[in-house]
């Protein structure tokens, strides 16, 4: 039987992780942050492993092993995410996850377009570059007070461009997705808006 799948895509720091987690908790659905898969391969790549082999041998128990939030891992993730064989190797894991009962929320860049094109609900969260860089800056500064705002802004901009322009599964809102701009929303407001839309659709 097909489970209810909620696909939430969007660029870095659009709020999709926090919103997706909250929605999955409200609905008691399974939650997969697919960025973590790419970050785990990115981390392996930085350690010297071949990314395709690392993706083909991904052990989901290892997803919490690395400090995956580090900016250098995010950059490496967006580089290995360009490789079609890496994407293909991660596809089956994501699709299998999406069929878990009683339903699943997956967030990423290509969930509504490639991973789960039949998802019942598709959402694309976005926000201005400045708003997103500010959020990420505040978050990262809790751990490393030396990080500069301009550096974060440049890194997110570079990652956006790479994610949008790659030939294999570029980041794009699915034509049947509902777009939310979270630039001027608090996280609570963003969760409420998205959740009420989901309730209408479910």
Is residue 174 at the binding interface for ligand C5P, with CB under 6 A as the rule? no
Contact in structure between 15 and 9 (CB atoms under 8 Å): no
CB of 163 to ligand C5P, least distance (A): 5
Nearest to 163 by CA among 86, 127, 110, 124: 110
CA geometry: angle at 46 spanning 126 and 67, to 5°? 60
Neighbours of 29 (CB within 10 A): 20
> Distance (Å, rounded) from C-alpha 140 to C-alpha 68?
12
User: Applying CB under 6 A, which of residues 29, 38, 45, 180 lies at the interface with ligand C5P?
Assistant: 38
* Interface with ligand C5P: number of residues (CB under 6 A): 14
In the region spanning residues 64 to 103, those forming contacts with ligand C5P, defined by CB under 6 A, are 74, 77-78, 81
How many H helices and E strands in the chain?
A: 8, 5
Compute the least distance from the CB of residue 25 to ligand C5P, in Å: 19
Closest CA to 15 of 92, 127, 112: 127
Binding segment toward ligand C5P, per CB under 6 A, in 23-31, 107-115, 129-137, 143-151: 107-115
Q: Does 14 bind ligand C5P (CB under 6 A)?
A: no
| Contact status: 135 vs ligand C5P (CB under 6 A) | no
Binding footprint of ligand C5P on the chain (CB under 6 A): 12, 34-35, 38-39, 74, 77-78, 81, 108-110, 159, 163
């Amino acid at each position: 039987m097909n489970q209810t799948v909620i696909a939430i895509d969007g660029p870095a720091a659009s709020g999709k992780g926090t919103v997706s987690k909250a929605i999955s908790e409200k609905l008691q659905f399974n939650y997969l942050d697919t960025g973590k898969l790419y970050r785990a391969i990115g981390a392996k790549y930085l350690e010297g492993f071949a990314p395709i082999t690392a993706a083909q041998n991904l052990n989901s128990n290892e997803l919490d092993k690395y400090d995956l939030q580090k900016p250098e891992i995010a950059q490496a993730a967006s580089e290995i995410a360009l490789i079609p064989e890496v994407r293909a190797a991660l596809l089956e894991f994501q699709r299998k996850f999406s069929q878990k009962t009683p339903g699943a929320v997956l967030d990423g860049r290509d969930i509504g377009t490639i991973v789960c094109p039949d998802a019942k609900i598709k959402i694309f969260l976005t926000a201005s570059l400045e708003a997103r860089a500010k959020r990420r800056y505040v978050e990262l500064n809790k751990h490393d007070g030396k990080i500069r705002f301009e550096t974060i802004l440049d890194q997110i901009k570079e990652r956006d461009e790479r994610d949008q322009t790659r030939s294999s599964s570029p980041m794009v809102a699915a034509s049947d997705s509902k777009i939310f701009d979270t630039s001027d929303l608090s996280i609570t407001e963003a969760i409420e808006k998205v959740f009420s839309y989901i309730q209408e659709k479910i």
